[in-house]
Structure 1
Amino acid sequence: MSDTGTPQAARGVPAVEVPRGLAGVVVTETALGDVRGAEGFYHYRQYSAIELAESRSFEDVWHLMFHGELPDAERSAAFAAEVASLRRLPDEVARALPAIARASASAGPLAGLRSALSLYGSATGLRPLYDTGPERRVEDALATCAVVPTLLTALHRIGQGLEPVAPRDDLGHAANYLYMLTGSQPDPEHARAVEQYLVATVDHGFNASTFTARVIASTGADLAACLVGGVGAFSGPLHGGAPARALDTLDAIGTVERIDPWIRERIGRGERIMGFGHAVYRTEDPRSRMLRALGLAFGGPLIEFAVRVEERVEAILAELKPGRELHTNVEFYAGVVMEQCGLPRAMFTPTFAVARVVGWSANVLEQAADPKIIRPGARYVGQAPPQPVPAP
């Protein structure tokens, strides 16, 4: 292969062939966690993420990701109070939210979050990671993560013609999020179910949005820039933008009698069934298993129908394409649980982002300690250069 097609070789760096999409390529080391797709297991630092979701608060896991350890009871209360005190928006940002909500009305709150985060970064004077030390980076990340639920719920409510609801310091992160979203004291069972969902979705390996945030961090840019990039990658329907689409699938099927013909038609045409399949897991997604259990605990026709659809998709796929593993992913039952807890569908993916922003920030903090910029190469496949420049 000539140097023309390998920029690395032109720079004196040996070219390395990698799979499309960087599948399976290890690009760095991390102490934040890992996903073991063949085992159906993932963890935050040394702890099972699902066990954390079942036994600890969101704030405890936030502390774990930022500070490297689970807090004891005293530190847990102090940390929860610390982040609760950071939820209010700067006046300049609050005043701009109606304009942002109007401009992003057709795209929704997640699109508005990109603009709001950029404005927040400017209004609070977030400095480039390159120019700040570890303590300041953590302070900035705590404050930014704390205001994301405030931004998202305000954008949603303004878009619905409602006044934003100010955060409450006496509520936990998940309960306060639901309170700001609805304006009402949340049902404790709903708040806990949403909290478990948030814990289970804080981080998940080097997915597209986490990798994007780390690439930006490697340039030394400020935290807001990193998170805006993460949100942009996350918004795609092949990544974080699928919970509502998975529920739309259930609506499209409609009745038990339509399950089999609907599924067979989609599989026959080679179409994707939203809520099924994952880039890493070859077993059942452990997040899906946990959320299914939460949905079943609430009960009702929606979860019963979802379980039936899951059973038939797997059975029909085994019949039509033997040997191909396809299981529900986190989005399938996430949509069901959020619907059961009263969240509007427009807020399904933003709710996912409320959790993932903590994971992105933890990755940004880790990446900021590495002075090496992430700069891969690409193989050029266009016409051989240099071609003569034609006369005008």
Structure 2
Amino acid sequence: MTTTPAVPRGLAGVVVTDTALGDVRGREGFYHYRQYSAIELAQTRGFEDVWYLMVHGELPDRAAAADFAARTAALRTLPAEVREALPAIARAGAGAVSGPLAGLRTALSLLGASAGFRPVYDIGAEQRREDALAACAAVPTILTALHRLGRGLSPVEPREDLPHAANYLYMLTGSEPEPAHARAVEQYLISTVDHGFNASTFTARVVASTGADLAACLVAAVGALSGPLHGGAPSRALDTLDAIGTPDRIDGWIREQVLSGHRIMGFGHPVYRTEDPRSRMLKSLAQGFGGPLVDFAVEVERQVEAILAELKPGRELHTNVEFYAGVVMELCGLPRAMFTPTFSAARVVGWSANILEQAEDSKIIRPAARYVGAPPPQPVPAP
């Protein structure tokens, strides 16, 4: 009789493969892309440099950086078949909670078909990289167009002369962004490119292990991200601030939520057992802007951590990336409906890097499940 090894729920802590892309060291409050601190990269480099690092395994020199930025900027314009379909996709998803994120699944499928993406199993590494670059460059254009179309506005065509983050804000608003806003969003995007084997990244790799085309892998990842337990918390964290309203209501509101068993959005993380380094960086960015929203968020953080320490002793519960991400994006003029889509515009680079890495391994990911139903075989009853 073959016995199936016991594993923790959700595969927590189970190592399923080797990767050279990065890691999350939760007890240390540290994560990295390749051999570099992700936070240090966000503080010192541009988005295109980090994108290059994830694809090529090294940071570019100035010449390579300029060439890569020009190549990817030229890929921002959507194929005609995709562009023409976006109004219908936007109309179909107008009432959906996930809005542009739901539309992205359809648009990515169409992009893969119109661009002729072939199964990663059937093509070489160079073509896989080209497909990945095309998809990653197109995602911000798709998301911003769907957002604007959903509000009765015309899409804004991408500009090749703007860096990745600035172009994203330009396509979203129709105006060239303030440099401080563009840089803050860029740092947020860099900090969320990759983060270990989270649900969407693992999903992308599972589909890649079947040899499917790159668009299929990304559609699956977007589907995983759309779940509120994964990518939906930035706007919910701001909703918490709205629900509290004023500093004098913080203590009573938080205690009521905790004692009722409700989760405080923006606090706690399944991996980190100390402060989330992304939250620390984004808090610093928010405080650089200043203002009533930032002051209120800082006070809410202080009181929530104190209350959680009192009511849940022994547990390390701090702000995660979503708490201050929502604050920073609000300050930079992004609508809340675009918080999670903006996250996906960054994470698509990490997903693609994981897909490329997985495609080098021809072994399909095929785990087992332990059957716990009625003992078979049972006689089939007569009709």
Is this a same-fold pair by TM over 0.5? yes
Map residues 359-378 of structure 1 onto 2, 5 A cutoff.
Answer: 359-378=350-369
2:343 match: secondary structure: helix
Residue 1 of structure 2 is aligned to residue 20 of structure 1: no
Q: 2: distance between equivalents of 1:350 and 1:310?
A: 25
Q: Could you tell me which amino acid in structure 2 is paired with residue 213 of structure 1? A: A
How far residue 391 of structure 1 moved from its aligned partner, in angstroms, is 1.7
1:30 match: secondary structure: coil
Q: Could you tell me which amino acid in structure 2 is paired with residue 66 of structure 1? A: V
How far residue 319 of structure 1 moved from its aligned partner, in angstroms, is 1.5
Match of 2:23 in 1: 34
1:35 match: secondary structure: strand
Match of 1:189 in 2: 180
Mean CA deviation greater in 230-239 or 38-47: 230-239
Equivalent of 1:251 in 227, 231, 242: 242
Match of 1:100 in 2: 89
How far residue 15 of structure 1 moved from its aligned partner, in angstroms, is 2.2
Map residues 195-234 of structure 1 onto 2, 5 A cutoff.
Answer: 195-234=186-225
Match of 2:129 in 1: 138
Identity percentage of aligned residues: 78
2:241 match: secondary structure: helix
How far residue 235 of structure 1 moved from its aligned partner, in angstroms, is 1.0
User: 2:200, 2:222 within 8 Å by CA — same for their partners in 1?
Assistant: yes
Q: Could you tell me which amino acid in structure 1 is paired with residue 292 of structure 2? A: P
Q: 1: distance between equivalents of 2:222 and 2:76?
A: 19
Offset from partner CA, 1:208-242 (integer Å, 9 cap, x none): 00000000000000001100110011111111111
Match of 2:142 in 1: 151
Gap regions ≥5 residues in structure 2: none
The TM-score, its normalising length taken from structure 1, stands at 0.96
Equivalent of 2:51 in 62, 72, 78: 62
Map residues 306-317 of structure 1 onto 2, 5 A cutoff.
Answer: 306-317=297-308
1:31 match: secondary structure: coil
Equivalent of 1:84 in 56, 73, 76: 73
Equivalent of 1:160 in 144, 147, 151: 151
Match of 2:263 in 1: 272
Offset from partner CA, 1:228-281 (integer Å, 9 cap, x none): 110011111111111001110000000001100000001111110000010100
Offset from partner CA, 1:138-194 (integer Å, 9 cap, x none): 000001000000000000000000000000000000000000000001100000000
How far residue 323 of structure 1 moved from its aligned partner, in angstroms, is 1.3
Match of 1:355 in 2: 346
Q: 2: distance between equivalents of 1:351 and 1:230?
A: 14
Match of 1:47 in 2: 36
Q: 2: distance between equivalents of 1:18 and 1:131?
A: 34
Q: 2: distance between equivalents of 1:110 and 1:321?
A: 35
Match of 1:291 in 2: 282
Match of 1:342 in 2: 333
Mean CA deviation greater in 47-56 or 123-132: 123-132
Q: 1: distance between equivalents of 2:371 and 2:5?
A: 14
Equivalent of 1:327 in 314, 318, 335: 318
RMSD: 0.7
1:391 match: secondary structure: coil
The TM-score, its normalising length taken from structure 2, stands at 0.99
Q: 2: distance between equivalents of 1:387 and 1:161?
A: 59
Gap regions ≥5 residues in structure 1: 4-8
Match of 1:391 in 2: 382
Q: Could you tell me which amino acid in structure 1 is paired with residue 259 of structure 2? A: G
Runs of 4+ displaced beyond 4 Å: none
Q: 1: distance between equivalents of 2:226 and 2:280?
A: 24
How far residue 337 of structure 1 moved from its aligned partner, in angstroms, is 0.1
How far residue 95 of structure 1 moved from its aligned partner, in angstroms, is 0.6
1:326 match: secondary structure: coil
Q: 2: distance between equivalents of 1:317 and 1:90?
A: 50
Q: 2: distance between equivalents of 1:235 and 1:217?
A: 19
Residue 233 of structure 2 is aligned to residue 238 of structure 1: no
How far residue 16 of structure 1 moved from its aligned partner, in angstroms, is 1.8
User: 2:4, 2:370 within 8 Å by CA — same for their partners in 1?
Assistant: no
Q: Could you tell me which amino acid in structure 2 is paired with residue 334 of structure 1? A: A
Q: How many corresponding residue pairs?
A: 381
Equivalent of 2:160 in 169, 182, 192: 169
